[in-house]
Amino acid sequence: MKTNPVHMTNTDGEEQARPFVVIHPLDDAAETKVRTSGMGPMRMTLSVKISLMALRGYLLLMMMLLLYHILDLAGLFGHWK
């Protein structure tokens, strides 16, 4: 564990150096997880649906560009140049 000073101002306006302890997340106690088995599906708002559709379109476009680049590297489009 590591102790670092923090400069805090008390009610009188004086600065004091107070130590705090830094704990690495791997050394910290595990948190309890929320059980989601009893929860139903969440409703999506219109803005979330639009954002997800835009993300889907972007990912499809990027996959098509990657496929084109791979096929171009393979020499399948050499006769077009």
Say how many domains are in the chain.
1
Domain membership of residue 31 (yes or no) is no
pLDDT at 2 over 60: no
Residues spanned by the domain of 6: 2-25+44-80
Which bin fits 48, alpha (ψ -120 to 50), beta or left (φ > 0)? alpha
Domain membership of residue 55 (yes or no) is yes
Domain membership of residue 36 (yes or no) is no
For tokens 């972007």, the residue is 58
Within 10 A of 9 (CB to CB), how many other CB atoms are there?
9
Of the pLDDT bands very low, low, confident and very high (cuts 50, 70, 90), residue 17 is: low
6 or 39, greater pLDDT: 39
> Considering the entire predicted model, what is its pTM?
0.50
Mean residue pLDDT across the chain: 83
Query: Which amino acid is located at 30 in the chain?
Result: A
